[in-house]
């Protein structure tokens, strides 16, 4: 149990990659704060985590609001006694053609997908330095942080920023014993993709195995990045994309 007694916050923890990462971290011994705007879902995942024999608490948060993320960090330290890492994973999408993407549509995604990562890193790092604790931040970027996709100008911009913030954060926080890494998932088999079988098949075809990626496959990589075994990975964003960024047929 490589993460025994480590205290880690997971945002977007109520479902999908977040939920699976909460469970993966718990199996490695970490104590977890499951944070999500969906309070009921977060509470349910916290109970699943507790069943694995570690401490877990849930917290309702709007990650686009700085004060709420600060409160989340304070809550984690109050409940778990320390802080050793954050999985800045919460995110949304809002697909619109560029000429229909009014400022409100643009900013909504930027605030949730980009600004929240800054808030998590900023308030998390401030608290960890105050406590004298070391640890890791893992940030969820996307394949769309490296390539463009029609209708996703806002999402492309936010996820590219996450990749850049991961590099910059790693550089600035290394002296404090805080490592910062990113993951860039491909097309993940979660409800966010909708129910259209044809669309899912089209997306899956862009992976080497011609399948959507199960969220637990991404979670296993995210959880690994928190461990000492991943110490040499710092400032990088690791694709978990079944070859999407490596090839085009």
Mean pLDDT by 10 residues, the chain (249 residues): 94 97 98 98 98 98 98 98 98 96 98 98 98 98 96 98 98 98 94 79 93 97 97 98 90
- The predicted pLDDT at position 107 comes to 98
The backbone torsions φ and ψ at residue 40, rounded to the nearest 5 degrees and listed phi first, read -65, -45
pLDDT score, position 51 = 98
| Residue 178, CA atoms < 13 Å, CB-side half-sphere | 29
Any catalytic annotation for residue 155?
Answer: yes
What's the pLDDT score for residue 56?
98
Rounded to 5 degrees, what angle do the CA atoms 90, 91, 93 make?
Answer: 165
Contacts of 242 (CB under 8 A, 6+ apart): 186, 207, 208, 209, 211, 213
CA distance 224 to 97: 37
Which two three-digit tokens encode residue 229? 């075994």
Say which of 123, 144, 155, 187 is annotated catalytic.
155
Fold adopted by 7-233: Rossmann fold (3.40.50)
Alpha carbon distance 116, 107 (integer Å): 12
Asked if 138 and 177 count as a contact pair (C-beta separation under 8 A), the reply is no
CA neighbor of 151 nearest in space, from 90, 100, 91: 100
pLDDT value at residue 247: 87
pLDDT (0 to 100) of residue 196: 81
104-140 b/e (C-beta count within 10 Å ≥ 16 → b): eebeebbbbbbbbbbbbbebbbebbeeeebebbbbbb
pLDDT value, residue 199: 87
Question: Is 59 strand, coil or helix?
Answer: strand
| Helix spans in the chain (H) | 16-27, 39-50, 66-80, 103-109, 116-131, 153-173, 197-204, 215-225
């Amino acid at each position: 149990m490589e993460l025994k007694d480590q205290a880690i916050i997971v945002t977007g923890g109520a479902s999908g990659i977040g939920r699976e990462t909460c469970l993966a971290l718990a199996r490695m011994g970490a104590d977890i704060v499951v944070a999500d705007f969906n309070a009921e879902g977060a509470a349910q995942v916290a109970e699943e985590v507790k069943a694995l024999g570690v401490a877990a608490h849930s917290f309702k948060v709007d990650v686009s609001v700085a004060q709420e993320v600060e409160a989340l960090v304070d809550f984690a330290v109050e409940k778990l006694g320390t802080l050793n890492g954050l999985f800045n994973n919460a995110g949304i999408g809002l697909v619109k053609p560029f000429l229909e993407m009014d400022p409100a549509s643009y900013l909504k995604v930027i605030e949730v997908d980009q600004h929240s990562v800054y808030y998590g890193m900023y308030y998390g790092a401030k608290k960890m330095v105050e406590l004298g604790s070391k640890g890791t931040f893992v940030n969820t970027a996307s394949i769309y942080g490296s390539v463009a996709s029609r209708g996703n100008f806002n999402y492309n911009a936010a996820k590219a920023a996450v990749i850049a913030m991961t590099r910059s954060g790693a550089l600035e926080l290394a002296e404090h014993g805080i490592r910062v890494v990113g993951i860039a998932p491909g097309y993940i088999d979660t409800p966010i993709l909708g129910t259209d079988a044809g669309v899912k098949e089209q997306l899956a075809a862009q992976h080497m195995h011609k399948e959507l990626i199960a969220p637990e496959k991404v979670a296993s990589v995210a959880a690994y990045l928190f461990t000492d075994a991943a110490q040499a990975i710092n400032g990088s964003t690791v694709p978990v994309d079944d070859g999407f960024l490596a090839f085009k047929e």
